[in-house]
Structure 1
Amino acid sequence: MHMNPDHYDFTLGINLTPEEQDLSVLFSGEARPYPGHKIGPSVHDFYLIHTVLEGEGLFQSGTFSAECRSGDTFVIFPGALFSYQADQDFPWHYAWVALQGIGVQELLSAVGITREQPFMHSGNVTELHSLYERIRHAFQQSAYPRLESLEASGWARLLLHQFGLGNLSALPLHPAEMPEIIDRQIDQAIRWISLQFHQQISIDHLASSLGYHRVHLSKAFKQRTGFSPKQFLLKKRMDKARQLLGSPLTIEQVASSVGFNDALYFSKQFRKHTGMPPSEYRAGLRSGE
């Protein structure tokens, strides 16, 4: 707990090791300023997000101005001239978090917050308040400041997610502009196969889980990739197998690593795919051919 002479209550948590490059929390706090308390006109070299929990106040940034009430969030961008002031009759109670990183502006834009529109009504105040508290409480000045920093940045991402849920109508991607569902399902199938090729994947089960008949999925998949799902899976496995054959792993270990329980069957498939057995392919790698 840190007291500030301009506030009834004032608490702050500070990150001792803000190292994440895309998004890092610098500090986070919460306060109940006195009536009429004003900050600015000033500039910061970091992003500063405030959410009003209750009460009222006025926020200005450049030519933008907004009267803020419970559930409203305003964002100060680096280099922007800003000021904000608590209402004289019903001064606000707010929480804030300061962020830095090369990915922050893009993340803010993804939830509908820009330099030109640095304000939004952000929805569930109770949930937002809880997330701000979790960010602030991550900084307990323990023996593991880097872990504290990782925890805080994780909660900050969830905070931005909550902003997005409360601001869906302002998000850059509107439902009418979203890709067809089948295209999204094909993307999901491609990602699934690319990440899970080492598992025993059933194309029938994959199609069923996406809500399509195997024939329909296979046709759409081939139109997108040039391969059927089965061919794409085999290609992923063989590409990885060629890579692993340059390592000290045995043929059996390579086979298992790319989803084949039977090393002999793997060898047959590898020879069919590349024109040579795994042992010969490995020998060629070692000889530099």
Structure 2
Amino acid sequence: MNPDHHYFSVTINPHTSTGELSVLFSGEGRPVPLHKMGPAVHDYYLIHTVLSGKGTFTQLDQTYTCTTGDSFIIFPGELFSYEADAHEPWHYVWVALTGRSALPTLSVLGASPANPIISGSNTKKIRHLYRRLFSCFPQTAPPAVEDMESAGWLRLLLHELANAERNPWPAQSAHESAGHRQVGQAIRYLELQFTQSVSIEQLARTVGYHRTHFCKMFKQVTGYSPMQYLLKIRMERAEQLLATSMTIDQVAASVGYNDALYFSKLFHKWSGSAPTVFRKSIQQASTSD
């Protein structure tokens, strides 16, 4: 038994997924009064949903009181802390997730580091979905199959959160909500069209905004400019392809660069090493394993 909890249970996904959206682990806990986590940072997304009781959650120097039906979302790299109430400590469930679609999916929900609370969830439905997540691991199925099943339940959980009535902390206008949807649409476009020549000017017009306003809004939601986000997508994909037998020219073309030399310069700036050096380090690591 965890000494800081009356009840504590966690289940881990044994499969290391590189997919669009994947569960890392999930759990349930009933901490003791005034149990506190943080200040700290995570390198993954972590959603807690309160089943009963209450507590406080702090992120970006903003503190929220969360009670039954509220979910609070920790974003990667953001300093956070949370604490159970002294008299009515919360009982909550949680899921950690990762993947290329994690940020755009949460953006569709209207969630961001500055707006990390979703309120009004049906706790009966939510608890059922979390329990289905718990039951995915471990089973007799291969880990990759368990990973697929958990990803399916995760999507249903996120869908349920999307249907919840949000408590506007901080207040969010209809225009800002529409802006989040448009940024999510732009992110989806970049993830699907990163191999093509992308015009940020044209992308801004497509989602209905002037380039300057669109770029400002995009960075507020994601922490990146559109071009930085596009570069991130391309370079992360290039890292994956460099682990294959493809030539540098082929890798460059596969991530949207017809000029392999230009790609190599960008990749060196991104990773700190040239593509050929990066490939050798992967091969050496594989050999040592």
Number of aligned residue pairs:
173
Alpha-carbon separation, structure 1, partners of 2:134 and 2:66: 23
Q: Tell me the residue number matched to 1:35.
A: 33
Alpha-carbon separation, structure 2, partners of 1:18 and 1:152: 13
1:90 counterpart = 2:108: no
3-state SS in 2 of match to 1:138: coil
Which amino acid in structure 2 is aligned with residue 25 of structure 1? V
Q: Tell me the residue number matched to 2:65.
A: 67
Kept in 2: contact 1:24–1:99 (CA 8 A):
yes
Q: Tell me the residue number matched to 1:77.
A: 75
Q: Tell me the residue number matched to 1:51.
A: 49
Alpha-carbon separation, structure 2, partners of 1:115 and 1:102: 17
Distance change >3 Å, CA 78–CA 62, structure 1 → 2: same
3-state SS in 2 of match to 1:12: strand
CA RMSD of aligned residues (A): 1.9
Alpha-carbon separation, structure 1, partners of 2:29 and 2:17: 26
Alpha-carbon separation, structure 1, partners of 2:5 and 2:54: 15
Match runs of 1:165-176 below 5 Å: 165-167=163-165, 172-173=177-178
Q: CA deviation at 1:173?
A: 4.5
Q: Tell me the residue number matched to 1:12.
A: 10
3-state SS in 2 of match to 1:58: strand
Which amino acid in structure 2 is aligned with residue 52 of structure 1? V
Which amino acid in structure 1 is aligned with residue 138 of structure 2? Q
Distance change >3 Å, CA 127–CA 73, structure 1 → 2: same
Give deviations 1:55-83, integer Å, cap 9, x for gaps.
Answer: 01010012221001000000000000000
Give deviations 1:87-142, integer Å, cap 9, x for gaps.
Answer: 01000000000001111010001011111101120421110111111111111243
1:158 counterpart = 2:175: no
Q: CA deviation at 1:15?
A: 0.3
1:118 counterpart = 2:116: yes
Kept in 2: contact 1:52–1:72 (CA 8 A):
yes
Which amino acid in structure 1 is aligned with residue 103 of structure 2? Q
Unaligned runs of 5+ in 2: 183-289
Which amino acid in structure 2 is aligned with residue 60 of structure 1? T
3-state SS in 2 of match to 1:60: strand
Kept in 2: contact 1:111–1:167 (CA 8 A):
no
Which amino acid in structure 2 is aligned with residue 130 of structure 1? H
Alpha-carbon separation, structure 2, partners of 1:14 and 1:34: 23
Kept in 1: contact 2:60–2:113 (CA 8 A):
no
1:24 is matched with which residue: 17, 22, 25?
Answer: 22
Q: CA deviation at 1:4?
A: 1.2
Unaligned runs of 5+ in 1: 178-289
TM-score, scaled to structure 1: 0.57
Alpha-carbon separation, structure 1, partners of 2:120 and 2:43: 24
Alpha-carbon separation, structure 2, partners of 1:140 and 1:43: 28
Q: Following TM superposition, where does structure 1 have runs of at least 4 consecutive aligned residues deviating by more than 6 angstroms?
A: 168-171
3-state SS in 1 of match to 2:115: coil
Q: Tell me the residue number matched to 1:268.
A: none
3-state SS in 2 of match to 1:75: strand
Which amino acid in structure 1 is aligned with residue 51 of structure 2? L
Percent identity, please: 46
Which amino acid in structure 2 is aligned with residue 157 of structure 1? R
Match runs of 1:119-158 below 5 Å: 119-158=117-156
3-state SS in 1 of match to 2:130: helix
Alpha-carbon separation, structure 2, partners of 1:163 and 1:68: 15
Which amino acid in structure 2 is aligned with residue 73 of structure 1? S
Max Rg structure? 1
3-state SS in 2 of match to 1:163: helix
3-state SS in 2 of match to 1:127: helix
Kept in 2: contact 1:18–1:25 (CA 8 A):
no
Kept in 2: contact 1:73–1:120 (CA 8 A):
yes
2:99 is matched with which residue: 98, 101, 114?
Answer: 101
